[in-house]
Amino acid sequence: AGLDLRRPDDRACFETLLASAHVLVHGYRRNALAGLGFDEAARLRANPDLIDVALTAYGWSGPWSKRRGFDSLVQMSTGIADSGMRINASDKPVPLPFQALDHATGYLMAAAIVRAILQRATTGYVLSARLSLARQAKLLQDRPAQSAVEELAMVEERHFAPGIEETPFGPLRRLRLPYTIEGVDLQFAHPVCRLRSAPSRWS
């Protein structure tokens, strides 16, 4: 689904969805939603029980807090790519071969949501969370550096979920989920689809 919050009809749709949401996850620059009329106070007025989880590239304070950014840019601007250049004895920046900041921050966001849902269910208190890719980069860089560069393991057959899924992009295979829950058969609820092709409503 996709909404343009500058359009009155899409704004009304978003407000309806927001009022009945359990969790809102958003990755806009600091104050970007406020500029569209949906600052934190407005979101809470629409839904006082809303768990609000926000992600920015460069944090929530300081001169870079309103900058746009994504994983690869943050790796460049925080020194990760510089470290890669030195470790690999290269003459140009070498970022990580995968989007480590996205993945790691995503797991932290998921953990924050699970904790907030449990807290709300047991105490009635509503929690929110703020995360940034730059902070995740700092956590990564604070870990002791390895003395040797290890080869990445190749994807093997055991990493794939069974079956082939027909999609608008052709036949695809999904990777298995990286976790299990005892007694629960974890399945993907929806097939792969094109961006903004689903209706803007809760299913």
Which amino acids are annotated catalytic?
A: 102
CA 75: distance to chain centroid? 16
> Dihedral through CA 74, CA 78, CA 84, CA 90, nearest 10?
100
Rounded Cα distance between 28 and 37, Å, is: 13
* Residue whose entry in the numeric block shows the structure tokens 């980069």: 137
* Residues β-bridged to residue 130: 54
Rounded Cα distance between 140 and 200, Å, is: 37
Give, in order, the Cα–Cα distances in Å from 12 to each of 18, 19, 24, 38, 202.
10, 11, 16, 12, 15
Q: How many other C-beta atoms lie within 10 A of the C-beta of residue 65?
A: 16
Which DSSP symbol is given to 175? B
Amino acid letter for position 105: T
**Residue 171 main-chain phi, psi, to 5 deg:** -65, 135
